[in-house]
Amino acid sequence: MLTDYHCHILPGIDDGAYDVDTSLAMIETMKEQGVERIIATPHFYAHEERSLTEYLIRREIAYESIADFAAVQNIMLGAEIAIEHGISKIHGIDRLAVEDTGNILLELPFRDLEDWMLEEIDAIASEYGLTVILAHVHRYLEYYSAENMEKLLKTDAVFQFNNEAFLLERDRDLLKQLIDDKKRIVFGSDAHNMGARRPNWDMLLEECDPEILEASNDFIAAEDNSIEVLTACDSASG
């Protein structure tokens, strides 16, 4: 079941889909590209929210506005949670995990890695018993020192790659490195609109070995939410 682990399809809740029409158009495009399961991950910035409860209400309202009309009906709700000081201490932060799973998507700040960021990741994983998925890990190559990138890659996290990672040699090299190291990897479009950041599964389907996509798709197993380990990706290693 082709699964998008990271996208911004819910209307009017963040910088993703502007309205219901845009949201439905994005989902229709995903269906045409073969996507069968979507994990909706609107941004959560703790410093901008009045409360976690209010965010969850806004997310539910956004979802309900498209639920009956979406071309893909298998939509799971989650969030892309910005790592901020004290994020792990927010009461109920585990409610932002992908529904019916023990997985939570975190986004690191776009500046060089600091120890407190790793501490927040560890705290969320250990205190709530969650598996952390780190969003678009390849994008941090631009900001992190080599030493700090190595620190990040040693964490016991799942690494999410955006589909366009196959376009740049640097990103492909990182993907190959993680596959060689038997790290856990999933893919997502990180789609925001129908323009420059439109759904792009057609791109990934052309580049990635089907077995690797299958492993990513099976990351969330229906029976026990078990995690599959990716072991090879011909297009990344070629």
84-96 per-position pLDDT tens digit = 999 999 999 999 9
Phi, psi for residue 148 in degrees, rounded to 5: -75, -30
* pLDDT tens per residue, range 70-81: 999 999 999 999
Give me the domain span that covers residue 19. Answer: 3-237
- Cβ within 8 Å of residue 120, ≥6 positions away: 83, 84, 85, 86, 87, 88
- Compute the mean pLDDT over every residue in the chain, rounded to the nearest whole number: 92
Measured at the alpha carbon of residue 218, what is the angle toward residues 124 and 77, in degrees to the nearest 5? 50
Q: What CATH number did the domain enclosing 83 receive?
A: 3.20.20.140
Residue 136 banded pLDDT, cuts 50, 70, 90: very high
Name the pLDDT band for 210 (thresholds 50, 70, 90).
Answer: confident
Count of structural domains, the chain: 1
The distance between the two most distant Cα atoms of the chain, rounded to a whole number of Å, is 48
Neighbouring CB atoms inside 10 A of 174's CB total 21
Note if the pTM is more than 0.75. yes
